[in-house]
Chains A and B, each alone.
Chain A
Amino acid sequence: METQTAGPATAAKVRRATTESPLVRWALIATGMLFIALVLVLPLISVFMEALSGGFATFFQAVGNADTWQAVRLTLLVAAIAVPLNVVFGLAAAWAVAKFDFRGKSLLVTLIDLPFSVSPVISGLIYVLLYGANGWFGPALKELDIKIIFNVTGLVLATVFVTFPFVARELIPLMQEQGRDEEEAAISLGASGWRTFWYVTLPNVAWGLLYGVLLCNARAMGEFGAVSVVSGHIRGLTNTMPLHVEILYNEYDFVGAFAVASLLAGLAIVTLVAKSLLEWRYGDRLAGGRKH
Chain B
Amino acid sequence: MTITADGIYKSFNGFPALRGVNLSASRGEFVALLGPSGSGKTTLLRILAGLEFADSGRLLFNGRDVASQGAGERNVGFVFQHYALFKHMTVAENVSFGLRVKPRDKRPPKAVIDKQVNELLRLVQLDRLGDRYPSQLSGGQRQRVALARALAIQPAVLLLDEPFGALDAKVRKELRRWLRRLHDDMQLTSLFVTHDQEEALELADRIAVMSDGRIEQIGTPAEVYQRPATAFVYEFLGNANRLPCRIDRGRAMVGSLVLPAPEHPELRDATGVAFVRPHDLIIGDARAEGLEARVRQIFVAGPAIRVELALLANGEMLEAEVPHGSPAGELIAPDKLVTLTMTKIRAFPDAATA
Q: Which residues of A contact B (CB under 8 A)?
A: 181-182, 184-192, 195, 199-200, 203-204, 206, 285-289
Contacts and interface: CB of A to CB of B under 8 A. Distances in A.
A288 B71 contact: no
A288 B80 contact: no
Contacts of B149: 185, 189
20 contacts: A182-B84, A184-B51, A184-B71, A184-B80, A184-B84, A185-B80, A186-B97, A188-B49, A188-B51, A189-B97, A189-B149, A189-B153, A192-B72, A199-B86, A204-B87, A286-B88, A287-B133, A288-B135, A289-B87, A289-B88
B135 A287 contact: yes
A190 B86 contact: no
Given A192-B101, A199-B101, A286-B88, A181 B80 contact: yes
A204 B102 contact: no
A181 B84 contact: yes
Contacts of B73: 190
Nearest to A189: B98
B110 to A, nearest CB: 16
Contacts of A191: 72, 97-98, 101
B98 A200 contact: no
B153 A190 contact: yes
Contact of B70 (A186, A187, A204, A206): A187
Nearest to A206: B88
Select the residue from B70, B73, B97, B149 with max chain A CB neighbours within 10 A: B97
B82 interface: yes
Nearest to B73: A190
B101 A188 contact: no
B45 to A, nearest CB: 11
Select the residue from B86, B88, B133, B153 with max chain A CB neighbours within 10 A: B88
Interface string B172-212: 00000000000000000000000000000000000000000
B74 to A, nearest CB: 8
B189 to A, nearest CB: 16
B98 A203 contact: no
A169 B8 CA distance: 40
A191 B76 CA distance: 13
Contacts of B82: 181
B284 interface: no
A281 to B, nearest CB: 15
B133 A188 contact: no
B134 interface: yes
Interface size class for chain B? 20 to 34
Contacts of A182: 84-87
A182 B78 CA distance: 12
B72 A285 contact: no
A286 B84 CA distance: 17
Select the residue from B50, B77, B101 with max chain A CB neighbours within 10 A: B101
A288 B72 contact: no
A200 B86 contact: yes
A39 to B, nearest CB: 36
Given A288-B133, A288-B135, A188 B50 contact: yes
A187 B71 contact: yes
A139 to B, nearest CB: 50
Given A184-B80, A189-B72, A287-B135, 5 more contacts: A186-B101, A187-B51, A187-B71, A190-B98, A287-B133
B97 A285 contact: no
Contact of A288 (B51, B78, B134, B153): B134
A189 B84 contact: no
Contacts of A200: 86
A188 B78 contact: yes
Nearest to B100: A199
Contacts of A206: 88
- Nearest 4 A/B pairs, CB to CB: A288-B87, A189-B98, A181-B84, A191-B101
A47 B84 CA distance: 50
Contact of B71 (A188, A203, A204): A188
Contacts of A289: 87-88
Contacts of A203: 88-89
A232 to B, nearest CB: 47
A203 to B, nearest CB: 5
A289 B89 CA distance: 10
B84 to A, nearest CB: 4
A175 B72 CA distance: 22
Contacts of B152: 189
A195 B102 CA distance: 10
A187 B49 CA distance: 10
A190 B72 contact: yes
Contact of B78 (A185, A195, A287): A185
A288 B133 CA distance: 8
B5 to A, nearest CB: 18
Interface in B131-159: 133-135, 149-150, 152-153
Contacts of B85: 182, 185
Given A190-B72, A288-B135, A185 B84 contact: yes
A184 B71 CA distance: 9
Contacts of A185: 78, 80, 84-86, 149
A187 to B, nearest CB: 5
A206 B150 CA distance: 26
Nearest to B97: A189
A188 B85 CA distance: 13
A288 B132 CA distance: 11
Interface string B89-129: 10000000110011000000000000000000000000000
Nearest to A196: B101
A190 B51 contact: no
Nearest to B159: A188
A122 to B, nearest CB: 40
Contact of B101 (A181, A184, A190, A286): A190
